[in-house]
Amino acid sequence: MKKALKVIAPLLGAASVMAACGSSSSTASSPTSTAAAASSGSNGSSSNYGLKLNADGTPDLKGVTLHLGISGGNPVPGDTTNYILAQMLKKWGATVSYTIGGGPSMQLAVVSGQLDDADGQFSSSLDAGLQIIAPAMTHVDDVLVSSKYTSVSQLKGATVATSSNLDPGNYLGGVLSKAQGWGSNGLKMTFTGADSSTVDQLISGHLTSAFVAAEDLVTLKAHGTFNVLQTAAQISPDYADSFNAALPSWVKTHQSDVLAIDLAWWAAAKVFDTDTAAWDSYAEQYTNNAATPAAVTLQRQALEQFNPWPNTPADASTILSDQVIQTNYAANLAAGQMKGAGLNRSASSMADLGPWQLSAKIAAKYPSIY
């Protein structure tokens, strides 16, 4: 999910794609549970943090109001699964508003209290003082493509492009170079200024190798032969770039809502993995039909080969864990993407993983839903 530099919108200039409903703050769910507890343990997990579950395992979110955001810039099919997350919460009874913005505007909206949770770049969330509560994609959807080379081993000393020095591709280039034993300068990284410019220069032949978003393969392959040398998941499996995050104070007082958001993530991932027709339909809604049905299908197929939303609860610790958080923190720190409060964050303050870990147990107990 390459959100950071696709579109830079005016701060707090986000456009709502759904009419906001209810109050400006979320109301915690009823503490009564009508389903057996999914697990027992500390931190309230024995009572599902007060989240009421129906007999079929779905949350009862009547009376809950959630204001969610995504730092995706212009809506593109690749961000559809986070939109489905919001739709799942609505399906389970919550009143949900969903807002799309560019750059760090959504994180600032969370800080100001306009939003409860926002999906966005890791560094922007931590710099804003937010706490990670759920994944977005489980790894960056970048791919390394070339019109000239057919294997990574041929790239030593080659020029590889990405949009900017802050783009995930720049970090991935360094990791790949070191993994190949070439050192930090084994690849000559160059920056085009925008993803669209990278694609255009590949098509025109001004570039032969670059990191692009998975959905860009649809455009590239319509204009020539471009070999996928490696994916971001192969280069750095724990590098995810973006997550859902909220204010620590909100997380502490809304553990049931955090658990509901996590369950909605599992349900949305299941849609991508098991119901392509439904996902395509949601993508058309999310993009306001800006992408044709055929284009949506092609972009989804491009994403599928990278397994961006694995929905097996057994994989929970590889999707979101202390190790994943630490990997992304180190990556952002090394790339110079931390600019503010994120530089001084303690490991324990970066994420609240209790609800996430419980959500995996609930998802495992109700596989037909999650």
Nearest to 147 by CA among 86, 209, 85: 209
According to CATH, where is 3.40.190.10 located in the chain? Answer: 15-139+240-365, 142-235
The continuous run of DSSP H or E covering 367 comes out as: none
Rounded to whole angstroms, the maximal C-alpha distance in the chain is 62
Nearest to 209 by CA among 197, 184, 227: 227
214 HSE (CA, 13 A, CB side): 25
Q: Which fold has domain 142-235?
A: D-Maltodextrin-Binding Protein; domain 2 (3.40.190)
Q: Tell me, what's the pLDDT at 156?
A: 96
pLDDT at 106 over 50: yes
**pLDDT band, very low/low/confident/very high, at 46 (cuts 50, 70, 90):** low
**pLDDT band, very low/low/confident/very high, at 32 (cuts 50, 70, 90):** very low
110 within 8 A of 42, measured Cβ to Cβ: no
When pLDDT is averaged across residues 247-272 and rounded to a whole number, the result is: 98
pLDDT at 14 over 60: no
Q: Which residue has the tokens 């202390």?
A: 322
347 vs 48, more confident:
48
pLDDT at 348 over 90: no
Q: Would you call 59 exposed, middle or buried from its count of C-beta atoms within 10 A (0-12, 13-18, 19+)? A: buried
pTM: 0.83
**Strand ranges inside 63-107, DSSP E:** 65-70, 95-100
Q: Tell me, what's the pLDDT at 284?
A: 94
pLDDT digits (tens, 9 = 90+) for 65-96: 999 999 877 788 888 999 999 999 999 999 99
The total of other beta-carbon atoms located within 10 Å of residue 76's CB is 22
Whole-number Å distance between alpha carbons of 118 and 130: 10
Q: Tell me, what's the pLDDT at 338?
A: 87
218 within 8 A of 178, measured Cβ to Cβ: no
Whole-Å CA distances, 285 to 18, 98, 214: 11, 13, 20
Whole-Å CA distances, 119 to 27, 73, 79, 159, 192: 20, 12, 10, 32, 26
pLDDT at 15 over 80: no
**pLDDT band, very low/low/confident/very high, at 282 (cuts 50, 70, 90):** very high
Q: Tell me, what's the pLDDT at 60?
A: 98
97 within 8 A of 14, measured Cβ to Cβ: no
The total of other beta-carbon atoms located within 10 Å of residue 43's CB is 12
Q: Tell me, what's the pLDDT at 184?
A: 76
Percent of the chain topping pLDDT 90: 69
Whole-number Å distance between alpha carbons of 91 and 58: 10
CATH class for the domain made up of 15-139+240-365: alpha beta
Query: What are the backbone angles phi and psi of residue 90, rounded to the nearest 5°?
Result: -65, -40
Specify the range with the lowest mean pLDDT, choosing from 15-24, 104-113, 304-313: 15-24
The mean predicted confidence, pLDDT, of the chain is: 87
189 within 8 A of 158, measured Cβ to Cβ: no
**pLDDT band, very low/low/confident/very high, at 23 (cuts 50, 70, 90):** very low
pLDDT at 33 over 80: no
pLDDT digits (tens, 9 = 90+) for 152-195: 999 999 999 999 887 889 999 999 999 999 987 899 999 999 99
Radius of gyration for the chain, computed over Cα atoms and rounded to the nearest angstrom = 20
